[in-house]
Amino acid sequence: MLFNTTGFFAFLIIVLALYYIVPLSWKARKIMLLLASYVFYGLWNPPLILLLLISTLVDWTAGQKLAKTEDPGARKRWLLLSIFVNLGFLGFFKYGNFLMENFQMLVGLFGVSYTPPKWDILLPMGISFYTFQTMSYTIDLYFKRIQPARTFLDFALYVTFFPQLVAGPIVRSDELVPQFYEPKRATQQQFFTGLLLLTIGLFQKTVFADSVLSPVSEDIFGTGDQLLALDAWTGVLAFSGQIFFDFAGYSLCAIGIAGMLGFSLSDNFRYPYGSIGFSELWRRWHISLSSWLRDYLYIPLGGNRYSNIRTYINLMLTMLLGGLWHGAAWTFVAWGFLHGLYLAVERLLRNIVKLKADNLFIQLILAFLTFTCVNITWVFFRAKDFGAAMKLLGSMFFVHGEKALLTTNDLVLVLTLMTLVFLGHFFMRRHSLVGVLQRTPLWLLVAGWGIMIFGLMIVQTSGQQFIYFQF
Amino acid sequence: MKLKLSTFIAALCVAFALLLQYEWYFRNVERWPPGYDNNADLWAYWRGKVEKLDEKDVVIVGSSRGQFDLNIHLWDSITGRRPVMLAIPGGSPYHTVEDIVVNTDFKGLLLVSTAPGLFYSLGSGGGAAWVKAEMVDYYQKQTYAQKFSQWCYEFIDPHFAYTDPDISLKHLTERLPFPNRDSIEGGTVWPPMVRMDRYRNVRMIPEMENDTSFQNQQTRIWHHPEWKNRYKDSADVIIGHYADLARKFQERGGRVAFIRPPVTGEYLEFEPQMFPRDQYWDRLLRESGSKGYHFQDNPVSREMIPPEWSHLNRRDADIYTRLIIELLRNDQLL
């Protein structure tokens, strides 16, 4: 079920009514939330609920065993079982075809002709999110960083909690599970802040991402032609904005809906396009994934505890796998490689050049440089293959390009919006959205909220899927 | 500041105040009628009904002429059966016919409306490929969540004009007045033309029937080369495709008939030049072994004048519906 559909609103109203109006015990309300989460997921494809159930059962069992046994061998086996099942699901459903294609290519290099059967595998929505989330639970238990969930119901709800089930944030168990122990009821402030965040998130998704930016990025990335640099850059900027508004919008919706139910989820985006440098970018973009990769991949690999070379290798490996997490294609790996390269170069430069960036203008220049480099990476993320990516990059850097594609209306809208996004992110770097909302005068807040609700009513997009659902 | 219920209610009041003016403007100034969206969900709903039809039922496929020029409620009142309307504006029936013949057991009458500029588009061509992706495949993959959303949306959609996709926010941005570069064409700004009900029965609105400013706005769009005769691909492949499917359908007891609804203006001038009758229409009927009713073969339909060259007004649509029923009955197809 998608947040940006009328069906979801009916669903949410029913859930809120059952949660707040019907007099149920806390346990019954949690069971209701769990069932609602399965309905939320199952209305897309009912049989795939089985995957969620298996993941839940395996990780609950492994977690219980890890909490009780001290035998190192047994603990390792239970952890491996959890990782094997979760990565197995991910590998089969998400990377099955990719692995077969690459195997075919590899054996082809040795003159062996092998044509694998074509698998028509359906990618379960949000599988990358909930598998990472449940894996973090067993890994944390293995390292004794957390306490196990008290009941199966609490754990099952942690795995399937519908606001963040299909596109994150990837919540750690110690952040969410303890919130299930005591009855929760949102305060009026919490409920309506949640509703406001839901409105802002939906506005970002439907008005900015789907209505203004998506058609332009589709035009540019869909054409096979060589374009004028202006059109090529505008298309890439449009995608840059689209993926931000789409994903940050979803995260805001998730945080908002959880808030309406009385739960709190942490930020997933903090004005990433205003970042100065790439290490800051990754502290602001998809925070729950970057911290997951840091804690469960980069640090276990050694992090920066060993030699400089080893640190760079760890950084690059983490970003390459981070790229692959996004999609089963080498273009995503290239996207990760570029980010790894940026991070490595930034680290190298920081050791050599001692730049004092306390001047606002210099900060703005550095943020713009970062934003520009990020946009280049999005070409590989969005292009259907390397040929298309290189052609678009050629157009962006004046290697070739004759064809104009976009209307002036599109150029004006995208360039204006993305200039505002960049400046807005830059000047909001030290602020939080909720903090700003709390300081906003009442009349302005009411007008802004009303205009956003109006925007949602007139936008008339056809319930386009969130981009990150496919990851 | 503290957010309270009163804050939200005030915001809702702002939103509804804006919405009321917005609705009023589109309904009373631009004359957009309230009605159902001609969207994939509603199409999928009616496509689902085909599975349960019997041999006395009728399914209409084709493009906008098939949908706008036949009144399925009138058809129902005359024959006792309301056809299932699966014609799609701007789309060829290439994949819809294939879907019905291959994926269903339907054995009734399949009435295929032809508009040459769309009909003679290959399956992978601009007139047909999107129909497969956005309609036929959508139906096959439609989720319960999408069905549920459509069910909820139908409580709102028919009562408002502003929900028409042609005046979505995206389309409104195309009206911004910035001049384009020489090689760039702006988006198409459509005038309101029809109103559709839940059965996908479409009727022309009085403004388009009577107001020349509406008609001129529409004929200016049709005059554009992109719209006049949009697609012309291999007749061999396309006619072969329909002929194969028609034979298969007839073998299992189904009946197929083609119609070519009336046009006027530049369509009347250019369609016969681009799609000579003997090479297209006559060949289609011959190779598919099917009956066909060309508007120029009948004195009544020949004299019909669609207000904007391509679609009939309500009065003529009713006459044309009666005529098609009569012709089908004469040929014992109905």
pLDDT category at A119 given cuts 50, 70, 90 is: low
Q: Given an 8 Å threshold on Cβ–Cβ distance, is A454 in contact with B3?
A: no
Q: Give the pLDDT of residue A218.
A: 93
The bridge status of strand B194-196 relative to strand B202-204 is antiparallel
For residues A157 and A205, membership in a common domain is answered with: no
Q: Give the pLDDT of residue B281.
A: 95
pLDDT category at A464 given cuts 50, 70, 90 is: low
Q: Which has more confidence, A430 or A356?
A: A430
- Whether B230 shows a pLDDT value over 70: the answer reads no
A8 vs B contacts (CB less than 8 Å): 149
A7 vs B contacts (CB less than 8 Å): 145-146, 148-153
B266 burial type by CB count under 10 A (0-12 exposed, 13-18 middle, 19+ buried): middle
Phi, psi for B255 (deg, rounded to 5): -120, 145
- Whether A471 shows a pLDDT value over 70: the answer reads no
Sign of CA dihedral A189, A194, A197, A198: negative
Cα dist from A409 to A458, B179, B181, whole Å? 19, 8, 11
The stretch B246-261 carries a mean pLDDT of 95
| Cis bond upstream, residue A169 (ω within 30) | yes
pLDDT category at A467 given cuts 50, 70, 90 is: low
Does residue A41 lie within any of the structural domains?
yes
Q: Give the pLDDT of residue A238.
A: 97
- Whether A306 shows a pLDDT value over 90: the answer reads no
For residues A196 and A157, membership in a common domain is answered with: no
For residues A160 and A240, membership in a common domain is answered with: no
What is the residue range of A171's domain?
A: 6-185
What does pLDDT average to over chain B?
A: 92
Catalytic residue among A326, A339, A425, A431: A326
First to last CA, chain B: 70
Active site residue A326: yes
CB-closest option in B19, B151, B178 to A457: B19
Q: Residues 6 or more apart from B314 whose CB is under 8 A from it?
A: B71, B203, B204, B209
**Closest chain A CA to residue B1:** A438
B13 vs A contacts (CB less than 8 Å): 450
Please tell me the distance in Å from B88's CA to the nearest CA on chain A: 17
**Closest chain A CA to residue B182:** A404
Neighbours of A22 (CB within 10 A): 10
Q: How far apart are alpha carbons A49 and A159 in whole angstroms?
A: 12
For residues A395 and A381, membership in a common domain is answered with: yes
- Whether A225 shows a pLDDT value over 90: the answer reads no
- Whether A143 shows a pLDDT value over 80: the answer reads yes
Q: Residues 6 or more apart from A181 whose CB is under 8 A from it?
A: A150, A154
Q: How far apart are alpha carbons A204 and A420 in whole angstroms?
A: 14
B126 vs A contacts (CB less than 8 Å): none
Least confidently predicted of A278-287, A289-298, B225-234, B240-249? B225-234
CB-closest option in B1, B145, B181 to A1: B145
CB-closest option in B3, B145, B165 to A43: B145
Percent of chain A with pLDDT over 70: 96
pLDDT tens column, A6-29:
899 999 999 999 999 988 899 999
**CA A17 centroid distance within chain:** 29
pLDDT category at B125 given cuts 50, 70, 90 is: confident
Q: Which of A458, A464, A465 should one mutate to test binding to chain B, selecting the residue with the greatest count of B CBs within 10 A?
A: A458
**Closest chain A CA to residue B172:** A459
Q: How far apart are alpha carbons B134 and B96 in whole angstroms?
A: 11
- Whether B326 shows a pLDDT value over 70: the answer reads yes
**Closest chain B CA to residue A438:** B1
pLDDT tens column, B271-310:
888 899 999 999 999 999 999 999 999 999 999 999 999 9
Please tell me the distance in Å from B165's CA to the nearest CA on chain A: 6
pLDDT category at A325 given cuts 50, 70, 90 is: confident
For residues A171 and A197, membership in a common domain is answered with: no
pLDDT tens column, A362-380:
899 999 999 999 999 999 9
pLDDT tens column, A186-199:
999 999 999 999 99
Q: Give the pLDDT of residue B245.
A: 96
Does residue A50 lie within any of the structural domains?
yes
Q: Give the pLDDT of residue B287.
A: 94
H helices within B142-264, ranges in order? 144-153, 169-173, 206-210, 212-223, 225-228, 235-251
CB-closest option in B8, B40, B167 to A192: B8
Q: Given an 8 Å threshold on Cβ–Cβ distance, is A449 in contact with B187?
A: no
Q: Is residue A124 within 8 Å of A86, Cβ to Cβ?
A: no
The stretch B170-198 carries a mean pLDDT of 88
Q: How far apart are alpha carbons B107 and B251 in whole angstroms?
A: 10
B4 vs A contacts (CB less than 8 Å): 188-189, 192
Going from N- to C-terminal start, the domains of chain B cover: 11-172+193-330
- Whether A463 shows a pLDDT value over 90: the answer reads no
Q: Given an 8 Å threshold on Cβ–Cβ distance, is B19 in contact with A212?
A: no
B173 vs A contacts (CB less than 8 Å): 211-212, 409, 413
**Closest chain A CA to residue B22:** A458
Q: Given an 8 Å threshold on Cβ–Cβ distance, is B10 in contact with A215?
A: no
First to last CA, chain A: 16
- Give the position of tokens 């590989």: A380
**Closest chain A CA to residue B164:** A460
For residues A159 and A227, membership in a common domain is answered with: no
For residues A197 and A59, membership in a common domain is answered with: no
Q: Which of A9, A197, A446 should one mutate to test binding to chain B, selecting the residue with the greatest count of B CBs within 10 A?
A: A446
Q: Which two tokens stand for residue B12?
A: 């809702």
Q: Give the pLDDT of residue A470.
A: 57
Please tell me the distance in Å from A301's CA to the nearest CA on chain B: 42
The stretch B130-148 carries a mean pLDDT of 93
- Whether B330 shows a pLDDT value over 80: the answer reads yes
- Of residues B53, B125, B40, B126, the one with CA closest to residue B88: B40
Q: Given an 8 Å threshold on Cβ–Cβ distance, is B170 in contact with A43?
A: no
Q: How far apart are alpha carbons A72 and A414 in whole angstroms?
A: 57
Q: Give the pLDDT of residue A360.
A: 87
Neighbours of A403 (CB within 10 A): 15
B161 vs A contacts (CB less than 8 Å): none
Least confidently predicted of A115-124, A364-373, B92-101, B169-178? A115-124
Q: Is residue B311 within 8 Å of B63, Cβ to Cβ?
A: no
B162 vs A contacts (CB less than 8 Å): 457-458, 460
* Beta-bridge mates of residue B291: B257
For residues A418 and A381, membership in a common domain is answered with: yes
Q: Is residue A270 within 8 Å of A432, Cβ to Cβ?
A: yes
- Whether A448 shows a pLDDT value over 80: the answer reads yes
Q: Give the pLDDT of residue B1.
A: 67
Phi, psi for A412 (deg, rounded to 5): -65, -45
Q: In total, how many domains does chain A have?
A: 2
Q: How far apart are alpha carbons B121 and B280 in whole angstroms?
A: 12
Q: Give the pLDDT of residue A466.
A: 56
Q: How far apart are alpha carbons A421 and A238 in whole angstroms?
A: 11
Q: What stretch of H or E contains A251?
A: helix A229-260
Please tell me the distance in Å from B281's CA to the nearest CA on chain A: 34
Q: Given an 8 Å threshold on Cβ–Cβ distance, is A408 in contact with B178?
A: yes
Does residue A303 lie within any of the structural domains?
no
Q: Give the pLDDT of residue A38.
A: 95
**C-alpha R_g of chain A:** 23
Does residue A348 lie within any of the structural domains?
no
A426-454 in b/e burial notation, b at 16+ Cβ within 10 A? bebbeeebeeebeeeeeeebbebbbebbb
Domain B11-172+193-330 is in which class? alpha beta
Q: Give the pLDDT of residue B183.
A: 83
Does residue A91 lie within any of the structural domains?
yes
Q: How far apart are alpha carbons B294 and B313 in whole angstroms?
A: 18
